[in-house]
C-alpha cells in the first residue's frame, strides 16, 4: 500500500532533473507543483535561475503546467508573467487536476511527469494517475502552512514504513 507514495525519482531540486534523459524516454509534458517545489511558499515570483530553467524546459521540447492547491491570486501572480498555464485549487491528490493539466497539454499519462515536494499530494496523486513522479526537497519548510505541516508528519510515517520494507533509504544521496 505504501508503494503508492514512492516517487520514481528523487532529486534535490528541479535543476537536477535530467530533462534530456526523460525526453529520450518519451516524456513530453511536466506538471509541476508551485510552493516549495519551484519557489518558497512566500516567494511571489520566479527567481532568474528558475526563469532560465523554464526556458530550458521549453527548448528541450516539454510542455509545462503548474498545478497547485493554492488560490487563484497566488498561482496567477506567479504564472501569468511567465506565460505558463496553471490549475489552481487543485485539491491534490485528487486526480481531476492532473487530468485537466494533461488535457491542457494534449498528453497521455505515459507521456507526463509530475514534479513536487510532497509525498501526500504530488507523488501520491501522480502515481494514482500513472504519471512519472519526481520528488524534490522542499525549498522553505519554515514558510509552510498548517495543512502542509500535517502532511509532513504523515510523510514521516510513510517514509518510516517504506524504509522498513527497504524501499526508502534516507541516507541514500539525492541524485
Asked whether residue 171 carries a pLDDT value surpassing 90, the answer given is no
pTM: 0.87
Residue 173 lies in a domain: no
Per the structure, the count of domains in the chain is 1
In the block, residue with C-alpha cell 511567465: 82
Q: Which domain holds residue 13?
A: 3-165
Residue 172 domain-assigned (yes or no): no
Q: For residue 86, is pLDDT > 90?
A: yes
Task: Please report whether residue 171 resides in a domain.
Answer: no
Q: Which residue has the higher pLDDT, 149 or 31?
A: 31
- Separation between Cα atoms, residue 73 and residue 57, nearest integer Å: 25
First to last CA, the chain: 25
Q: Residue 23 falls within a domain, yes or no?
A: yes
Residue 95 counted as domain residue:
yes
**For residue 42, pLDDT beyond 80:** yes
Taking only the tens place, the pLDDT of each residue in 117-155 is 999 899 999 999 999 999 999 987 666 677 777 777 777
For residue 28, the domain's CATH number is 3.40.50.1000
Can you tell me the mean pLDDT for 78-90? Answer: 97
Domain membership of residue 103 (yes or no) is: yes
Residue 99 located in a structural domain: yes
Amino acid at each position: 500500500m505504501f508503494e503508492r507514495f514512492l516517487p520514481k525519482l528523487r532529486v534535490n531540486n528541479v535543476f537536477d532533473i535530467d530533462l534530456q534523459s526523460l525526453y529520450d524516454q518519451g516524456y513530453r509534458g511536466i506538471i509541476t507543483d508551485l510552493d516549495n517545489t519551484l519557489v518558497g511558499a512566500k516567494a511571489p515570483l520566479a527567481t532568474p535561475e528558475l526563469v532560465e530553467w523554464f526556458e530550458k524546459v521549453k527548448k528541450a521540447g516539454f510542455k509545462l503546467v503548474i498545478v497547485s492547491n493554492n488560490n487563484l491570486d497566488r498561482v496567477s501572480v506567479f504564472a501569468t508573467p511567465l506565460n505558463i498555464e496553471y490549475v489552481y485549487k487543485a485539491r491534490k491528490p485528487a486526480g481531476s487536476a492532473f487530468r485537466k493539466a494533461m488535457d491542457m497539454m494534449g498528453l497521455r499519462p505515459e507521456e507526463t511527469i509530475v514534479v513536487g515536494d510532497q509525498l501526500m499530494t504530488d507523488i501520491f496523486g501522480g502515481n494514482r494517475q500513472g504519471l512519472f513522479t519526481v520528488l524534490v526537497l522542499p525549498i522553505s519548510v519554515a514558510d509552510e502552512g498548517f495543512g502542509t505541516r500535517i502532511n509532513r508528519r504523515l510523510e514521516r510515517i510513510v517514509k518510516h514504513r517504506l524504509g522498513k520494507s527497504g524501499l526508502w533509504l534516507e541516507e541514500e544521496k539525492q541524485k
